[in-house]
Chains A and B, each alone.
Chain A
Amino acid sequence: MAKLVQLMNVSCGYGKKIVLRNVSISIEEGEIVGVIGPNGSGKTTLLRAISGILRPKVGSILFGGKNLSKIPHTELAKKIAVVSQEGPHDLNMRVMDYVLLGRIPYMGPFTFFEKDEDIKIAMDCLGIMGILHLKDELVSNLSGGERQLAVISRALVQNPTLLLLDEPTSHLDIAHKVKILNILKKLNRERGLTQIVVFHDLNLASEFCGRLILLSEGEVVCDGTPNQVLTFQNLENVYRTMVIVKENPISSRPYVFPVFEEWMKR
């Protein structure tokens, strides 16, 4: 397995504020890596650094062996796609047109209309996400779950080798959560699509990812399999909350139970 992304002693932030401190991780092709940690621990900033939006102040990031900041924007957009936390809420645009925006990196400066090939790819991706029947709907008329499926379709038409997802399922019902994660897993299995996913829900992270990175105050606290990372010592240290970790009877992955005040006395 070749290394796809390498962060070497990366520190970055906004203005004078440093959010990520001295982070060194490497991600192999075909991995699904979950990023977890409390609010403000630098999860989103880590994604922004890897996507090339945020330049590191110190250290360097390699993508496919090349320095990330040296790769031209359009080239990068053909390799890395991002599903951000904020979806398109009031976009007065048909789903098909929205998804086709993801083909922009492939359209040269003198291409004005999408080619038939672009439309075919968009149809394929809508098909994979199971929302081909919605292609003529307005994005603003979609439900939250459908909208997220459309957002992921738009990311997929970029034909990326690396997909970055920032809490892709956090506002969705359990059916959409499972559906989206199943599709992402399938993409990983069948196409070898590497994914870095920020999770708030520790149990989803545990089920979905082969490897977890636990961040706290901008630093990597623990990096390993869910069994290594999701221990009650790690979690209580980072989150300052009492938890109990048990094994999920179905998948034998760790499952985290928070302990509420009223039960602590017993």
Chain B
Amino acid sequence: MEKKRKWLISLFFSLFFLLLCGIGSLVTGPAGFLFFPSDQYERAILLNIRLPRVLLGFAAGGSLSLSGLLLQGIFRNPLVEPYTLGISGGAALFVALSIVARLDEIFGQFAISVAGFAGSLLVILTILTLSSKRHLKKEELLLSGVMISFISSSFVMLCFSLLKSEDVHRIIFWMMGTLQEEKKEFILFLSFLSLLSLFVSQFFSLHLNALQLGEEEAAHLGIDVFRVKRFLLFMSSILTGVTVSITGIVGFVGLLIPHLMRLLFGSDYRFLLFSSFLFGSSFLIVCDTLSRTLIKPAELPVGVITGIVGGSLFLFLLLRRK
């Protein structure tokens, strides 16, 4: 069948592209190109420094991009991205508070991630409670998220105004996001969670296709819109929350990649789900490679690269099409 063949070709193309980016990122780094590790030292760089970063880039890029795509589908709004609902804001606030309380000095660096997750979880629970009210319109839910975002960022500003400049610096660095992560367990967990979500989301691809017609039309096609929306909202929020608490706020991936994929593959979610995930992964891996090599031995924040590279690429493609 024609569509099946097109699907398989697209899948292989996306996987191949990801593989290319992954290998490319693995062999490049501040220590120079390493194709075949000749000694233990080089092998350690490949396996213990670069590989975890590539893997985290894969998981975080895929998660953010998938989450953005799902949220855009649920809200039928092209401007929604994983952070719109205030999940990142909640995380940032708790991270700021944990730095104020010196939790990381008492419990170690991972306390920051735990605090970030606690913050995002609080927002997720609020959003889910709101979304279980049937009479709440989706625009109102979206606005509530935006408000949560504003409130938490105001509190973060308040922290800034009260803190010493070195603490402010640490909060800002967390907020800009990085794929540097000491705990391998976190990376493996996020990889597992993101792949699981990708798998589960496949079962909703037809629902998401139908939702493009509007909620009432989707209901006419036999879809329990309320439950489907609530589940997908839950899944994408958890995905965003876990990602943010591990990597910080890596911006733009979740907005940019789903739109790029729409330009590339059209509006069929059977194609959009996996391609958004895989290209999101590839994109973040490439951006991270740039961030750690451009001004070596120093590093640029990866969120800056995703914004500049991704934004320009998107503008170029959008305007060229017209």
Contacts and interface: CB of A to CB of B under 8 A. Distances in A.
A113 B222 contact: no
A159 B7 CA distance: 27
Interface in A165-211: none
Contact of A101 (B1, B203, B209, B266): B209
B220 A82 contact: yes
Nearest to A96: B3
Nearest to B224: A73
Contact of A102 (B4, B221, B224): B221
Contacts of A86: 214
B195 to A, nearest CB: 18
A104 B222 contact: yes
A101 B1 CA distance: 17
Contact of B206 (A80, A94, A104): A104
Contact of B1 (A91, A104, A107, A113): A113
Contacts of A76: 222
Contacts of A75: 222
A6 interface: no
Interface residues of B, number: 27
A260 interface: no
B213 A88 contact: yes
Nearest to A92: B267
Interface residues of A, number: 33
Contact of B267 (A72, A91, A105): A91
B223 A73 contact: yes
Given A77-B220, A81-B220, A105-B221, A93 B266 contact: yes
B267 A53 contact: no
Nearest to B4: A113
Contacts of B135: 15
Interface in B201-220: 202-203, 205-206, 209-210, 212-214, 216-217, 219-220
A93 B212 contact: yes
Nearest to B135: A15
B268 interface: yes
B71 to A, nearest CB: 18
Interface string A231-253: 00000000000000000000000
Contact of A73 (B202, B206, B222): B222
B203 A109 contact: yes
A74 interface: yes
Interface in B240-295: 262, 266-268, 270
Contacts of A97: 268
Contacts of A84: 216-217, 220
A261 interface: no
Contact of B3 (A51, A102, A113): A113
Contacts of B223: 73, 104
Given A15-B135, A113-B4, A114-B3, A107 B206 contact: yes
Interface string B1-40: 1011001000000000000000000000000000000000
A116 interface: yes
Interface string B172-212: 00000000000000000000000000000011011001101
Contacts of A104: 206, 209-210, 221-223
A102 B7 CA distance: 21
Nearest to B209: A101
A139 to B, nearest CB: 10
In this complex, the member of A15, A75, A105 whose beta carbon has the largest number of chain B beta carbons within 10 angstroms is: A105
26 contacts: A53-B216, A53-B220, A72-B222, A76-B222, A78-B222, A82-B220, A84-B216, A84-B217, A84-B220, A91-B213, A91-B267, A92-B262, A92-B266, A93-B212, A93-B266, A97-B268, A101-B221, A102-B221, A104-B222, A105-B222, A110-B203, A112-B202, A112-B270, A113-B3, A113-B4, A113-B270
Interface of A: 15, 51, 53, 72-78, 80-82, 84, 86, 88, 91-94, 97, 101-102, 104-105, 107, 109-110, 112-114, 116, 158
